[in-house]
Structure 1
Amino acid sequence: MATAGFPRKSVDVAGVNVTVPAVGRPVCVNGTPWILYLLEECVDNVWEYCSVVIGLVSMFCFLLSTLPQVYEAYRNGKVEEAMSFGFLIFLFSGDLTSFAGCYLTSQLPIQVVTVVFYIFTDLILVSQFLYYKIKNSSSRKSPFLKWMCFMWCGAASIILLALPKLLIDNSPTLDTQSPPTSRSVEITGYICGYLASVFYLCSRFPQLYKNFQRQSTEGTSYLLFALAMMGNGTYGLSVVVVLPALRGSKQSFIIKHLAWLIGSLGVLLLDFFVTLQFIMYRKNKSAKSSKPLSIPEVEPLLCEEVELSML
């Protein structure tokens, strides 16, 4: 899943309605209070407000996207037959590099926390895949395997719950006297953003091939891809909506968000092909299941023939 980042504007002191007190901390005068408190962004016009709301919708879709697949895998217990391990690994690698990009480019704290949640859900999907693969390939049930998975998920939960707090505490404050992020670190962060986009794009191809090889999408939840499509679409829209309100260069703004836009819109296009597979293979499944319905109509005729021959 592509990271739902909020479009961050380059601050132009001469053009933004911001006053700077003696302590050096900028204060937003006409901005929306809840956005200022939650996202530390000064939003003072309708375009920026719509961009933030759409960005929150995008983030919410991504947060929910993996949960239906977790439930589907728990319900049928055959996740290794339905899901491609390459899909899970590329998805996990994309979220890791996206987290590195968000941290190195000093993105919003809520974005860092959200990416950590993505990594957590990825770990659950990978753990489920490995658990059911080992369990289904083994001839006897092993209680040690179950306890090992519980301990692994518990340890990962504790680490990932503590990680955002540590990162936010160690992040630079909003004080204008603090030194800015070095250019090399920022460039490294954007390189990580492009790598994340490549990983996200590559994640769909193993799953597309897996579905084509099986001629079926059984065992995978379509909500995983539907919510990802909604998240990627709304993220691209949140970037486009804010363009009329920009006071700086629109070209530099697009370049700054280009890596995440490529990942979001590219994955959105590939998920349309996944949707087509769900439609096509569902028709094949319904056609196969309708064939045995003609058997009960034949059975009474055969019984009548047997009774006539006995007479």
Structure 2
Amino acid sequence: MQRLIFNGFMQSLFGSCVYGYADALSIFFGYASIFCWLNAQVPQMLENYKLKSADGLSLYLLYFWLAGDLGNMFSCVLNHQLPFQTYLATYFVCTDLILLYQYFCYSSNKTALCTDKFNTPHDTSVEHGDEEFVFPEEYACLELTKTMEDVNYGTMNSNSSRKTLFMGLLLFGCRFGFGSTTALLSTTAINSGGSTATATAEEVLLQAPLTLGWVLAWICTTFYIVSRVPQIHKNHKRHSTQGLSLALFSFAVGGNVTYALSIILHPGRTRESFMESLPYLSGSLGTLFLDAVIFGQFLSYRKSAAVDNTNAQMAVTRISSLSRPLTFSSQ
């Protein structure tokens, strides 16, 4: 067994023994993954607060995140996981709720603003010859209602609620089934004693939830991968990534890459343990492709967004100049 000169430091820092450099790298990448996910959603919160809008986010993306994190949190509580794991899962749920609060809060504020503008009884136009011009604030409100394509995403009917509930139950079952996978394998190995004897009824009962958890884990992985699709679709529909934080997906990529490396580099990996982690490993690597698509959208729409902003500023300037009171000089 290779002994590291900094093994004592690693044990005091991470609370576990380190058996070789590969194990040390595995632990390092594991905690690096946690660091990335702890900071992933903070830049998006700041971006929403700065813009006073969360229109750049897909509502279904937030629903997928919340359902998965709720399942993770409840599985930690029910399986009596370490307090750190429970606190971490609770933190993720809180960040999801904050993003959802920002989404609905800013959307409702904009809707109320436009309603007030249209219901105001005073005259909001200025006649100039045979034409009528709208004041800039009403023009901005009209543009706001024109560009609120996220209304289609935010419509909450009974069918979408049932789908979200069903998805959350599947995610919960996946997390719950895999939360005790290691314990199930250990118990089965002890009971079997390494022999090829016929499985007892107890072993069959132990293998049933393990198999169910493995199947649900693949379903969970599919949901996590598909969660990027609504965001990609919304970006394509808007031809813009305005309102999205690039740091959010940068941290997500970093978290997935380091998580995959922590699994691959672990020296104690066996075929059984690798099969256990295969759904989550596939989920991490699968989302990397979709995140690359989102990065491509950032680059592709950056130039067009700059042109659109310039045109919008020119339009507002023109409307502002036309809506100024006319003054006539006497000759």
Same fold, TM-score > 0.5, yes or no: yes
CA distance, structure 2, for counterparts of residue 40 and residue 193 of structure 1: 28
Contact 1:98/1:192, CA 8 A, preserved across alignment: no
Query: In structure 2, which of residues 60, 65, 69 is the aligned counterpart of residue 95 of structure 1?
Result: 69
Whether 2:41 is the aligned partner of 1:66: answer yes
Deviates more, 1:213-222 or 1:187-196: 187-196
CA distance, structure 2, for counterparts of residue 256 and residue 51 of structure 1: 17
1:126 offset after TM fit, Å? 0.9
Whether 2:20 is the aligned partner of 1:45: answer yes
In structure 2, the residue matched to 1:205 is 229
Count of equivalent residues: 230
Query: In structure 2, which of residues 248, 259, 263 is the aligned counterpart of residue 235 of structure 1?
Result: 259
1:267 offset after TM fit, Å? 1.1
CA distance, structure 2, for counterparts of residue 273 and residue 56 of structure 1: 26
Query: In structure 2, which of residues 289, 299, 302 is the aligned counterpart of residue 279 of structure 1?
Result: 299
Gaps of 5+ in 2: 117-178, 181-186, 189-204, 315-331
TM-score (norm 2): 0.59
Change (3 A) 1:256 1:114: same
CA distance, structure 2, for counterparts of residue 211 and residue 116 of structure 1: 29
Amino acid at match of 1:114: L
CA distance, structure 1, for counterparts of residue 19 and residue 242 of structure 2: 48
1:43 offset after TM fit, Å? 2.1
CA distance, structure 2, for counterparts of residue 135 and residue 287 of structure 1: 28
Q: Which structure has the greater CA radius of gyration?
A: 2
Amino acid at match of 2:45: V
Amino acid at match of 1:230: G
> Percent identity at matched positions?
30
Give 1:144-155 correspondences, 5 Å limit: none
Contact 2:70/2:93, CA 8 A, preserved across alignment: yes
CA distance, structure 1, for counterparts of residue 111 and residue 279 of structure 2: 40
1:214 offset after TM fit, Å? 0.4
Contact 1:58/1:232, CA 8 A, preserved across alignment: yes
Change (3 A) 1:35 1:55: same
Amino acid at match of 2:87: V
CA distance, structure 2, for counterparts of residue 40 and residue 131 of structure 1: 42
Change (3 A) 1:104 1:239: farther
1:101 offset after TM fit, Å? 5.4
In structure 1, the residue matched to 2:97 is 123
In structure 2, the residue matched to 1:268 is 288
In structure 1, the residue matched to 2:60 is 86
Amino acid at match of 1:213: K
TM-score (norm 1): 0.63
Contact 1:103/1:112, CA 8 A, preserved across alignment: yes
Whether 2:85 is the aligned partner of 1:111: answer yes
Cα RMSD between the aligned structures?
3.7
Change (3 A) 1:196 1:92: farther
Whether 2:50 is the aligned partner of 1:75: answer yes
